[in-house]
Chains A and B, each alone.
Chain A
Amino acid sequence: GAVVSQHPSRVICKSGTSVKIECRSLDFQATTMFWYRQFPKQSLMLMATSNEGSKATYEQGVEKDKFLINHASLTLSTLTVTSAHPEDSSFYICSARVLSRGETDTQYFGPGTRLTVL
């Protein structure tokens, strides 16, 4: 299957700082990437849909000024958590939808980033 990477895998930061998480599709192009948040022992909560070259579409209740998403190329999307607070601590997972390779519509997921805000 297609490979999606995330960096960093784990980050600990102080309250008030900003954290950037990168999501890359390594061996395919993805016009659309999705950002999810997962709380312990819960399902994935979609935060936003990121399209290359355009503004991200945020789900209801997700603050776009707090969770900045940039999709600069067909293989890279970034999520920046601005002025992070302890309640932002969570597991963030990105996903990319395959554009080609005869595997349309399958979403492949990154390994996730564990954010801990002290």
Chain B
Amino acid sequence: AQSVAQPEDQVNVAEGNPLTVKCTYSVSGNPYLFWYVQYPNRGLQFLLKYITGDNLVKGSYGFEAEFNKSQTSFHLKKPSALVSDSALYFCAVRDVFSGNTPLVFGKGTRLSVIA
């Protein structure tokens, strides 16, 4: 079975400070990992993904995430937060060998960047 845990419901950070949104996962095989962002009353926007290769993945809007196999984590980071980054962030996982199955999502973390 696949699962994703986002331990924080809410993350608050001051504008200009670095931000981290945590994600840990569980799969039986190798993971495909994703981060999505959702603004109010909108669908999900793809930010970045890890499939294979370099553990540090860079994505849209200056975000990056680091795949850590030993800790089964894929935390989302940004060096300097903007007020416009305030949104709901979802981590998702799929087992590489799970066939044509959909992504499994975490419950989401609401990021609030304060000016």
Contact = CB atoms under 8 A, between A and B. Distances in A.
Contacts of B44: 44, 93, 95, 109
Contacts of B106: 43
Contacts of B49: 105-106
A54 B60 CA distance: 35
B25 to A, nearest CB: 14
A106 B43 contact: no
Given A1-B46, A111-B42, A112-B43, A43 B94 contact: no
Contacts of B34: 106-107
Interface residues of A, number: 24
A68 B44 CA distance: 23
A105 B102 contact: no
Contact of B46 (A42, A51, A106, A112): A106
B70 to A, nearest CB: 23
A4 B44 CA distance: 11
Interface residues of B, number: 22
B100 A43 contact: no
Nearest to A48: B102
B90 interface: yes
Nearest to B44: A109
A114 interface: yes
A32 interface: yes
A45 B107 CA distance: 10
A58 interface: no
A28 interface: no
A6 to B, nearest CB: 7
Interface of A: 1, 4, 6, 32, 34, 42-44, 46, 49, 51, 91, 93, 95, 97, 105-112, 114
Closest 3 CB pairs of A and B: A109-B43, A109-B44, A111-B43
